[in-house]
């Protein structure tokens, strides 16, 4: 691939920190209260997916009123926020801080592009807010991943062309969104999940920045 990067966009959950476990516990508690079985395997489907779409996937074809849906989303979020409150700087995933520091020192712009409406408090608790030019979250755009809107919005806020951006993502929906935005996609996770990305590493600590930056 031949390109000159100007900015790097980081997904939050699964890339900078692992809040997927907290989402799982919060959805599991809600599902159990509603008499629905919910396993870690079911939770994999929800990676990078918005709160509303996640609930639709959990409820499957159950008939539920719009008011009940709103109430359940609020209840799940209360459970999730209790976990978010426990996040500390120790919860940055191994290797993530090093990548952020390295790219920042090299002069690239950095941003967060997360589907989560809780991204800002989580990043505050990780104590890395100052690293980012901009933080786009679940409030930033209407169409969530896999639509490219969130990443396009993030590039616009940084004043950078999408083609000069690369996105770190752990979700299939996020890789799809990055590719649809015309950005370089760097997948974190197994082939079957993020195999469509331009680069793929099993974990954040395996990311080889020289490989990505040298292919200009
Ligand atoms: P909230 P990301 C995503 O974050 C999570 O991966 C996904 O599981 C969650 O449902 C979504 O945020 C919405 O989160 O309920 O906090 O608004 O991976 O895009 O950083
Ligand atoms: Mg993610």
Residue 157 Cα to ligand 1 middle (Å): 21
Q: Report every protein residue that has its C-beta within 5 angstroms of ion ligand 2.
A: 11, 13-14, 48, 170-171
Residue 70 has pLDDT above 70, yes or no: yes
* pLDDT over 70 at 216, yes or no: no
Report residue 2's pLDDT band, with 50, 70 and 90 as the boundaries: very low
List the one residue out of 51, 6, 17, 11 whose CA is nearest residue 168. Answer: 11
| Atom 8 (ligand 1) nearest CA | 47
Give the three-state DSSP class for 124.
helix
Instruction: Please report which confidence band the pLDDT of residue 214 belongs to, taking 50, 70 and 90 as the band edges.
Output: confident
* Mean pLDDT, the chain, integer: 95
Give the residue carrying structure tokens 């396009």: 152
pLDDT digits (tens, 9 = 90+) for 141-200: 999 999 999 999 999 999 999 999 999 999 999 999 999 999 999 999 999 999 999 999
Using alpha carbons only, how large is the chain's radius of gyration in Å? Answer: 17
Distance 216 CA to ligand 1 centre (A): 32
Task: Give 1's pLDDT tier (boundaries 50, 70, 90).
Answer: very low
pLDDT at 178: 98
Pair of tokens at residue 31:
């599902």
Find the mean pLDDT for residues 39-49.
Answer: 91
- pLDDT for the residue 3: 67
Does residue 13 carry a catalytic annotation? yes
Ligand 1 mean position to 118 CA, how many Å?
8
Atom of ligand 1 nearest to the CA of 170: 18
**What tens digit of pLDDT does each residue of 75-107 get?**
999 999 999 999 999 999 999 999 999 999 999
Q: What is the DSSP letter of 11?
A: -
pLDDT tens track for 128-139: 999 999 999 999
The length of the chain in residues reads 216
- Half-sphere exposure at residue 79, Cβ-oriented, CA atoms within 13 angstroms: 17
Measured over the CA atoms of residue 197, residue 201, residue 205 and residue 210, the dihedral's sign is: negative
Instruction: Ligand 1, residue 14: give the atom nearest the CA.
Output: 18
Q: Which protein residue's CA is at the shortest distance from atom 5 of ligand 1?
A: 48
Give me ligand 1 centre to Cα 13, in Å.
Answer: 7
Atom 6 (ligand 1) nearest CA: 48
Sign of CA dihedral 85, 55, 167, 181: negative
Per-residue model confidence as pLDDT tens digits over 11-28: 999 999 999 899 999 999
Ligand 1 residue neighbourhood (C-beta within 6 Å): 11-14, 23, 46-51, 54, 77, 114-118, 138, 171
């Amino acid at each position: 691939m031949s390109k000159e990067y100007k900015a790097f966009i980081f997904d939050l959950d699964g890339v900078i920190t692992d809040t997927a476990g907290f989402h799982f516990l919060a959805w599991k508690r809600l599902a159990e209260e509603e008499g629905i079985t919910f396993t870690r395997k079911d939770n994999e489907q929800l990676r990078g997916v918005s709160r509303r779409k996640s609930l639709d996937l959990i409820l499957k074809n159950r008939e539920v009123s719009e008011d009940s849906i709103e109430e359940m989303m609020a209840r799940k979020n209360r459970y999730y926020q209790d976990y978010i409150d426990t996040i500390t700087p120790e919860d940055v995933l191994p290797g993530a801080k090093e990548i952020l520091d390295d790219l920042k020192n090299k002069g690239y712009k950095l941003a967060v592009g997360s589907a989560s409406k809780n991204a800002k408090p989580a990043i505050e608790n990780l104590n890395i807010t100052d690293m980012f030019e901009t933080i786009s979250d679940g409030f930033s755009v209407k169409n969530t991943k896999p639509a490219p809107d969130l990443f396009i919005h993030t590039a616009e806020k940084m004043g950078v062309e999408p083609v000069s951006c690369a996105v770190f993502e752990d979700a299939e929906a996020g890789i799809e969104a990055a590719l649809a935005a015309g950005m370089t996609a760097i997948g974190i996770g197994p082939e079957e999940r993020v195999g469509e990305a331009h680069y793929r590493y099993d974990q954040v600590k395996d990311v080889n920045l020289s490989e990505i930056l040298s292919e200009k």
